[in-house]
Structure 1
Amino acid sequence: MLAISGLNQFYGESHTLWDLDVEIPQGQCTCVMGRNGVGKTTLMQCIMGLLPLRSGSLSYQGQDLARLTAERRAPLGIGYVPQGRQIFPLLTVEENLRIGLAARPDRAKQVPGYIFELFPVLKEMLGRRGGDLSGGQQQQLAIGRALVIDPKLLILDEPTEGIQPNIVHEIGDIIRRLMTDLNLTVILVEQKLPFARRVADRFIILDRGRLMASGAMPDLTEDLVKQYLTV
């Protein structure tokens, strides 16, 4: 579904991503892993068009994304839940959700009902300001907002960060349900290893901006964990 080839990125004079070649298969959850500061979020921002590629190619369902702005990528079916959620705290839950409607190709005017089936708490709190929600509720709102655009590819950057354990488990269940029921493809950036093993089908490990290992999740050995993931 998504093919990345020879991707390089810089932050100022610092070379942050080095010649990345990555394939994201359709209908699976691929977990991007690595210690803090290795380039995981930078890679997600490149995919979304929030950072320009210094070099390399980025193809989504056979279409070249490299020259498309972030605003033009979302209507192609790419949903993004950024690290830290980044909801609009002064807008209501309903207003946060409705923001995604503009990116839908069908120009639907109503938030899809299945989002409230996935996250009943959002329906209960439609009139409440986003900033008044708990961290877990804000994360559910951020995921719901990304789903409003009817994505085929969903990018989740650290969705369990700062979330209570019961909501973490629920988010894992919802990711698997989205893949089963809607055939969504998911890119998950995650540091919680038990969560990653439970939710993801495949893994990619980055270290200092380079791809060090990839494969099916059962192939994530303790040696790899010790070498690239433990602090």
Structure 2
Amino acid sequence: MLTIEHLNQYYGESHILWDVDLEVEQGRCTCLMGRNGVGKTTTLGCIMGLVPVRSGQIVFNGQDIVRLAAEERAGLGIGYVPQGRQIFPLLTVEENLRIGLNTGRRKRKKIPELVFELFPVLAEMLGRRGGDLSGGQQQQLAIGRALVLEPSLLILDEPTEGIQPNIVHEIGEIIRRLQREAGMTVLLVEQKLPFVRQVADRFFIMDRGRVMARGHLDDLTDDLVRDYLTV
């Protein structure tokens, strides 16, 4: 579904991403892993059109999207939940959700019922401002906002960061449900190994802007964890 080939990215004269190759298989959950500052979020920014690419290809469903604007990529069916959630704190839950209605592949006037099936707390808080929600509720809102697009690919950047354990487990169950019932493909950046083992099928490990290891989750050995993931 998504293939990245020889991706290079610079900040000024600093070479950040070095010939990154990445494949996300349809219907699978792929986890991009690595310590802080190795280029994971920059890679997601390149995929979403938020960070300029110096060279390389990003192919989504057979189309090279490198030259497309961010909103055009969303319109192709890519939903994105950024690190830190980035909801609109002064807008209500309903207003946050409605922002995505005209961005997805199918222009809608109504928030899909799936959002409220997955996150019933959002239905109870439609009139509450986003900034008044707890951290876990804000993360649910951020994921719900991405799902309003009805994406075929959902990209999540550190979705468990600062979230209480019961909500972390719930988000993991929702990811698996989206794969199982909706056939959704997921690309996840995550550092918490228990969560990765709960949801992911495949992994890629980055270090210093390069992909250093990849494979099925069963191939994620203690040696790889020690060499590239422990602090």
Gapped regions of structure 2 (runs ≥ 5): none
Measure how far apart 1:124 and its partner are.
Answer: 0.2
Give RMSD over aligned pairs. 0.5
How much has 1:14 moved relative to structure 2?
Answer: 1.1
> Counterpart in 2 of 1:132?
132
- With normalisation by structure 2, the TM-score equals 0.99
Within-5 A mapping of 1:18-57: 18-57=18-57
Corresponding residue of 2:96: 96
Amino acid at match of 2:63: Q
What is the correspondence of 1:80-119 to structure 2 with a 5 Å cutoff? 80-119=80-119
- 1:12 matched to which residue of 2? 12
1:155 and 2:141 are equivalent in the alignment: no
Cα distance in 1, alignment partners of residues 105 and 152 from structure 2 = 12
Alignment TM-score, normalising by the size of structure 1: 0.99
Map of 1:227 onto structure 2:
227
- Give, as a single letter, the amino acid of the residue that structure 1 aligns with 2:166: N
Farther-moved stretch of structure 1 (37-46 vs 99-108): 99-108
Cα distance in 2 for residues equivalent to 1:106 and 1:9:
32
- How far residue 22 of structure 1 moved from its aligned partner, in angstroms, is 1.1
Supply the distance in 2 between the matched residues of 1:73 and 1:67 (Cα, whole angstroms): 10
- How many residues are matched? 231
- Shift, 1:104, TM fit: 2.2
Paired AA for residue 120 in structure 1: P
Say which SS state the counterpart of residue 9 (structure 2) adopts: strand
How far did residue 12 of structure 1 move? 1.6
**How far, CA to CA, are the matches of 2:42 and 2:5 in structure 1?**
15
Amino acid at match of 2:126: L
Q: Distance in 2 between matches of 1:45 and 1:23?
A: 16
Q: Name the CA distance, whole Å, in 1 between partners of 2:204 and 2:163.
A: 23
Q: CA deviation at 1:106?
A: 2.2
> Per-residue deviation at 1:105?
2.6
Gaps of 5+ in 1: none
1:191 aligns with 2:173: no
Instruction: Report which stretch shifted further, 81-90 or 12-21.
Output: 12-21
Q: Which residue of 1 aligns with 2:170?
A: 170
The amino acid across from 1:153 in the alignment is L
Q: What's the CA shift string for 1:129-154, capped at 9, x where partnerless?
A: 00000000000000000000000000
Helix, strand or coil at the partner of 2:191: coil
Structure 1 distance, partners of 2:60, 2:107, is: 22
Shift in Å at residue 224 of structure 1? 0.2
State the Cα deviation string for residues 80-113 of structure 1 (Å, max 9, x = none).
Answer: 0000000000000000000010112321100001
Shift of 1:13: 1.5
SS in 1 for 2:99: helix
